Amino acid sequence: MIAVLKQKKIAALAILFALAFPLLIPNNYYLHMMTLSFIWMIAVYGLNLLAGYTGYLSLAHAGFFAIGAYTLAILTVKAGLNFWLAFFLSCVISSFIGFLVGLVALRTKEHFFAIYTLCVGYIIYLVIDKWDNLTGGVRGFIGIPSPANIGPISFQTPVSQYYLVLFFLLLVVFVMYRIVYSLTGRTYIAIRNSEELALTIGISTMKDKLVSFVLSIFFTSLAGALYASFIRFLGPDIGYISVMFDLLIFLLVGGIGTMSGPVVGTLLMTSISQQLQFLQDYRMLIFGPILTLLVIFYPRGVVGGVIHWKTKRTENNRDSRVGKISSHSSNEKQVKEG
């Protein structure tokens, strides 16, 4: 119980900090970076639901991020749809394409699934790159509107856009939390643990896998649509493999299959990238080995490492005192996080 309370406190503090950020640091550059990392976080949460909880590592998510972004662009600019309708539709359309892909992809497992979705992601990229008439091809897509007013609230200023994105991030985190801590979440974890075992207790795994796949894509394409309306320019690069690997690195560093991993990993990696920008592409020479070590020694990332360390500490405390003070709750937490 103590651990859970603490967890809630940390979450509350983080939210407070995020709410106060534009007041604490009234600097447009930082505000822009923060808004952008919130968008990435949403995408990473999407990936986390599928890869972290259900255990299916998709490499098509950058593609679906791009589909979300481009659909918003096309629906608003070319079709002249109302912004929020287009916003909603772009998530739905992307999810529907995801549903069709999932029907086939989820018949494969593990590395076959990863390779299959990698191909899907690449095909999405190629379509965007080559379909000049629709997407603008390599020239890119310009003139995407920023979010339309909702009643009296307008989203023209950086600060208001920051809060809009923050709102969506919190919404996604809340929905993720509800899913993960419900029977549905436990069903996903059961599938990750052993699909055969899940079948033998009566879970119709195909259905659950498909739902988690589509939900996961919904979140990621939501991030894509936000990205389009925030940056207002799109190039085919946003669907490229390198974006996929960014998402994956954020997730792995933060902690795959943990609730706070996407936030921690994205913040950490985007700020480190910023610091090392002068190294340009040579950054990868540093990131590569660090990532390899991290995956070997901390398979559940920074968050997983901290949980592990805390569990150990409470257990040591328990041994030195008497009774069973909080070992149960820390176990419990590890499971829930896991």
Partner 1 sequence: MLELRNVSVQYGSFTAVQNVNIHVHEGEIVVLLGSNGAGKSTVFRTISGLNKLSKGEIVFKGNRIDRYSPDRIVQLGIVQCAEGRKLFSRMTVYENLLMGAYIHRKEKEKIKQSLNHVYELFPILKEKRNDLAGALSGGQQQMLAIGRALMSRPKLLLLDEPSIGLAPLIVEQMFQIIKQINKEGTTILLAEQNAHAALHIAHKGYVFENGTIAVQGTSQELFANDNVHKAYIGT
- Shortest reach from residue 279's CB to partner 1, in Å: 39
Scanning 11-19, 116-124, 197-205, 244-252 for contacts with partner 1 by CB under 8 A, the matching segment is 197-205
Distance, in Å, from the CA atom of 160 to the CA atom of 268, rounded to the nearest integer, reads 24
- Shortest reach from residue 50's CB to partner 1, in Å: 18
281 binds partner 1 (CB under 8 A): no
335 binds partner 1 (CB under 8 A): yes
- Shortest reach from residue 174's CB to partner 1, in Å: 22
Which of 187, 221, 266, 326: binder of partner 1 (CB under 8 A)?
Answer: 187
- Write out the two tokens for 10: 């940390």
- Shortest reach from residue 155's CB to partner 1, in Å: 42
- Shortest reach from residue 64's CB to partner 1, in Å: 28
Name residues contacting partner 1, limited to 50-69 (CB under 8 A): none
Q: Roughly how many angstroms between the first and final C-alpha of the chain, as a whole number?
A: 17
Scanning 3-11, 183-191, 274-282, 313-321 for contacts with partner 1 by CB under 8 A, the matching segment is 183-191
319 binds partner 1 (CB under 8 A): no
Shorter beta-carbon distance to partner 1: residue 237 or 332? 332
Distance, in Å, from the CA atom of 324 to the CA atom of 116, rounded to the nearest integer, reads 48
Which of 32, 186, 232, 318: binder of partner 1 (CB under 8 A)?
Answer: 186
312 binds partner 1 (CB under 8 A): no
271 binds partner 1 (CB under 8 A): no
Q: What angle do CA 193, 306, 31 make, to 5 degrees?
A: 105
Q: For residue 161, what are the CA distances in angstroms to 10, 130, 174, 233?
A: 25, 31, 20, 16
143 binds partner 1 (CB under 8 A): no
154 binds partner 1 (CB under 8 A): no
Distance, in Å, from the CA atom of 99 to the CA atom of 118, rounded to the nearest integer, reads 16
How many CA atoms, within 13 angstroms, populate the side-chain half-sphere of residue 132?
Answer: 1
- Shortest reach from residue 100's CB to partner 1, in Å: 22
Which of 80, 156, 183, 285: binder of partner 1 (CB under 8 A)?
Answer: 183
- Shortest reach from residue 204's CB to partner 1, in Å: 4
Binding positions for partner 1, rule: CB under 8 A: 183, 186-187, 189-190, 193-194, 196-197, 199-205, 328, 331-332, 334-335, 338
